[in-house]
């Protein structure tokens, strides 16, 4: 009888111990290592963050997915996660703007969270249906996204369209590095596109001088010294040039950098008060001309649009915070497209797209 009681007591003790250990495990954060039912530690894989199939911020139907994807990564990093699992296995397309934006965000996270590590599932090389070869993997490798994620850079077979992609970044306005970038790209085409040099420098200057204003931007939250990222490539027989910053955005700086008279003229130009972020972008493109008409001397604002008017079907895109603006130089009734997204990119991206001449076209 005593043996049975002793055995029963031992069973009760073990059950209570397991219950106690399970209660501890249930209280542990899901980001920490959990306990098995017997109380021993077990490894928990990080929650997977799935990249969108289409990494593109130009179109409204894709824009929100990309912003949400990047916000999930940022939130994981900010909550103390030391390891983040990012899956690109469904991603079959990446646009230049989305790639540069993702790169800027990841490099900033790398500066702000030193111990952060990633598990990366790479994108598909071919589709299962037509055998079409995708370039996302080589793009992520080429422009430095894999490096920002801690994935070892490697030699890859690159298509000609990806091989010419170039990225630079910096803290100050650097006319020499910008000039070298344009020269590197344009010398392959035999056509002079140095007219893009001035608007690129002006956009770079705007990023340095206004995007990170002390009265609006909390520099204590960012250890990354780089204030701008620039991208150049030849894609689909076009010269593509982009510059990105993660500052406060055009909608927040426009009214602080311009006087009442200029703002009144800009409102008159739009025919309505400036409300939407996209309206602020459109108004900002008229600052230089407006100040000139008012007789102001000296620095008259950034002129990003005039260069586009020198090339038929050339295009200017600006994404700043929630605002999206596109201007195409063409003989059509509607050269502009404007819209506001649901979520802000918390920064600004400017892109120039210039068609290359076909063989035999006059230059």
CATH of the domain at 204: 3.30.565.10
The 10s digit of each residue's pLDDT in 161-208 is 677 788 999 988 887 888 888 877 777 666 666 677 888 888 888 888
| 147 and 176 both lie in a single domain | no
In contact, 93 and 55? CB cutoff 8 Å: yes
Strand partners of residue 229: 169, 244
151 falls within a domain? yes
List all residues 6 or more positions away from 261 whose beta carbon is below 8 Å from its beta carbon: 294
Q: Which residue has the higher pLDDT, 192 or 244?
A: 244
Query: In the prediction, which pLDDT does 249 show?
Result: 94
The answer as to whether 34 is a domain residue is: no
Angle at alpha carbon of residue 157, lines to 155 and 158, rounded to 5°: 110
Residue 153 and residue 249 in one domain: no
Assess whether 154 and 261 both reside in one domain: no
pTM of the model: 0.81
**SS3 for 361?**
coil
Range of the domain at 318: 166-362
CB 304 within 8 A of CB 318: yes
In terms of domains, do 259 and 154 share one?
no
Same domain, 153 and 185: no
Give the mean pLDDT of the chain.
Answer: 82
Of all residues in the chain, the percent with pLDDT exceeding 70 is 76
Q: For residues 135-158, give the mean pLDDT.
A: 87
- Same domain flag for 97 and 178: no
Please indicate, yes or no, if residue 31 is contained in any of the structural domains. no
> Residue 137's domain is classified under what CATH number?
3.30.750
Assess if residue 214 is contained within a domain: yes
Based on the fold, state whether residues 179 and 133 are members of the same structural domain.
Answer: no
* Residue 23 located in a structural domain: no
The answer on 181 and 79 residing in a single domain is no
Identify the domain boundary among 119, 141, 158: 158
Q: In total, how many domains does the chain have?
A: 2
Is residue 100 domain-shared with residue 199, that is, in the same domain?
Answer: no
């Amino acid at each position: 009888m005593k043996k049975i009681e002793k055995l029963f007591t031992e069973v009760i003790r073990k059950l209570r111990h397991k219950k106690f250990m399970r209660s501890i495990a249930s209280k542990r954060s899901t980001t920490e290592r959990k306990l098995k039912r017997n109380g021993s530690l077990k490894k928990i894989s990080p929650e997977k963050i799935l990249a969108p199939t289409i990494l593109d911020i130009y179109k409204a139907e894709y824009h929100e997915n990309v912003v949400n994807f990047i916000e999930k990564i940022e939130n994981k990093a900010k909550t103390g996660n030391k390891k983040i699992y990012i899956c690109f296995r469904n991603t079959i397309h990446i646009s230049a703007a989305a790639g540069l934006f993702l790169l800027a965000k990841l490099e900033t996270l790398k500066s702000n969270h030193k111990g952060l590590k990633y598990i990366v599932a790479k994108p598909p090389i071919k589709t299962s249906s037509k055998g079409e070869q995708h370039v996302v993997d080589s793009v992520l490798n080429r422009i430095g996204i894999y490096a920002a994620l801690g994935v070892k850079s490697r030699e890859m077979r690159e298509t000609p369209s990806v091989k010419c992609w170039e990225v630079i970044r910096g803290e100050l306005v650097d006319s020499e590095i910008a000039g070298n970038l344009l020269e590197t790209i344009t010398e392959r085409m035999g056509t002079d596109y140095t007219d893009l040099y001035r608007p690129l420098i002006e956009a770079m200057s705007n990023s340095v001088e206004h995007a990170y204003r002390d009265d609006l931007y909390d520099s204590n939250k960012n250890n990354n010294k780089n204030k701008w990222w620039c991208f150049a490539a030849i894609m689909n027989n076009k010269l593509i040039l982009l510059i990105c910053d993660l500052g406060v955005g055009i909608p927040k700086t426009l009214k602080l950098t311009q006087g009442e008279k200029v703002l009144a003229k800009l409102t008159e130009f739009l025919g309505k008060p400036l409300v939407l972020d996209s309206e602020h972008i459109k108004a900002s493109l008229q600052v230089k001309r407006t100040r000139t008409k008012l007789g102001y001397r000296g620095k008259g604002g950034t002129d990003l649009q005039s260069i586009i008017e020198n090339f038929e079907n050339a295009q200017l895109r600006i994404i700043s915070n929630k605002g999206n603006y596109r201007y195409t130089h063409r003989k059509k009734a509607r050269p502009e497209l404007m819209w506001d997204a649901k979520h802000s990119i918390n920064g600004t991206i400017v892109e120039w797209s210039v068609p290359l001449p076909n063989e035999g076209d006059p230059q």
